[in-house]
Amino acid sequence: MPFHLYFNGEISPLDSTIFKSNDLAILRGYGMFDYFRTYNGVPFRWDDYWQRFENSAKLLKLPLPLNQEEAAEILADLHALSGEPEVAFRFVLTGGYAPDSVHVVKPNFLIRTEALPQDNPAGLLKGIKVLPYQYVRDLPEIKTTNYVHMVLMADEMKEQGASDLLFYKDGEISELTRSNFFIFKGDTLITSDTNILRGITRKVVLELAKEHFKIEVRPLLYSELATADEAFTTSSTKWVMPIVQIGDNLVGDGKAGQRTLSLQDLFKKVVLEWGR
C-alpha cells in the first residue's frame, strides 16, 4: 500500500498537492519539523519527540492544532495504511497562510509517512569524514526547516568525500547540520551544551554512557579536537556514527574507536528491543 500523509484534519496519498503558495514557510521560511521512526512497529521515544516538537512550537509562537494523544492516533492510522512493518514520520508545522505575508493566522500541520532512510553500514563500522564550518544556527533549540548552509555546501562535501558539516564559531563546537557531536578523551565522554538541538538519540546515548564512562556536558572547544581520541555523531538516522576525519585532520588514529563502537552496540540493543 502507498504511503499517506495527514494535513489539517485529512489523510491523503503522499503525493497529494496540499500547500498554497502564500504559506509563511514558503514566503518567509517560517516553519519547523521533527523526524523519528518506529522500531518493532512502535514509534521510538515518542514522548521525547512530542515534547521537543511541542517546545519548538511554543518558541516559534505557533499553536499546535492537536494534542499528543490525538497525534498518536494519526500515527497509528498512517502506519497501518502504509502496510510496512517499519516507517519514518516527519512532522511539519508552518506559519500557515498569511494574507499580508507576515502575520501568523492559523498554522498548517503536516505529518508525512516515509520509507526508512538508507542505512550506512560502512560508515557505522569505518567512520565518516566531516568538514569544519564556521556557523551557529539561529534558534538552535528549534528544529527549523532552514537548512540553507547544508544545501549550499552539498557539492563541496561530495567533492571532498565528506558526509556532513561540523558547526563551530568563536572557538566552540556546537553540532553537525542534522546531528549532535561527541568526543572521547580517554574514558571521558564530552559533548556540547550550548547552541545545540537537544537530540533524542543524544539523550539516549548519554543515558547509556553514564554507567560506563565519565561524562562532561559543557562548552566544547574546537582546539580540543587535536587531543581527542575518538569522535562520533548521533541522530535518528545515524545512530552512533564514528567520525574519523575532520577536514584534513584524522581523529585519533583515524579509525572508529572502541569506546564509540561499544556505545553503538548498546544503542543497537535498545532499538532492537524497543516496544517488546
Q: For the chain, which domains are there?
A: 4-114 (3.30.470.10), 121-272 (3.20.10.10)
Mention every residue, 6+ apart, whose C-beta is less than 8 A from residue 43.
Answer: 36, 37, 49, 72, 75, 89
pLDDT band per the 50, 70, 90 thresholds, residue 275: confident
Q: What is the pLDDT of residue 176?
A: 98
From the list 186, 191, 188, the residue with the least C-alpha distance to 203 is 191
Q: What digits encode the pLDDT tens for the residues 253-270?
A: 999 999 999 999 999 999
Question: Cell 554512557 belongs to which residue?
Answer: 209
pLDDT in tens, 21-72: 999 999 999 999 999 999 999 999 999 999 999 999 999 999 999 999 999 9
Report the alpha-carbon distance of residue 27 to residue 95 in Å, rounded. 10
**Dihedrals φ, ψ of 208, to 5°?**
-70, -35
Please determine, for residue 189, whether its predicted confidence score (pLDDT) is greater than 80. yes
CB atoms within 10 A of CB 263: 27
User: Three-class SS of residue 25?
Assistant: helix
pLDDT band at 93 (very low <50, low <70, confident <90, very high): very high
The residue written with cell numbers 517488546 in the block is 276
117-175 tens-digit pLDDT: 887 888 999 999 999 999 999 999 999 999 999 999 999 999 999 999 999 999 999 99
d(CA 82, CA 113): 8
Cell of 182: 561527541
pLDDT at 259: 98
- pTM exceeds 0.85: yes
Distance CA 127, CA 255 (A): 7
Percent of the chain with pLDDT over 70: 100
Measure Cα distances from 139 to 32, 196, 197, 241 in Å. Answer: 11, 9, 9, 25
Predicted pLDDT at 117: 86
pLDDT given for residue 1 in this prediction: 59
Q: What is the mean pLDDT of residues 177-204?
A: 97
Strands (E), the chain: 4-7, 10-13, 31-39, 42-43, 88-94, 108-114, 128-134, 164-169, 172-176, 180-185, 188-191, 214-217, 220-221, 230-235, 239-246, 249-250
Mean pLDDT of 231-238: 96
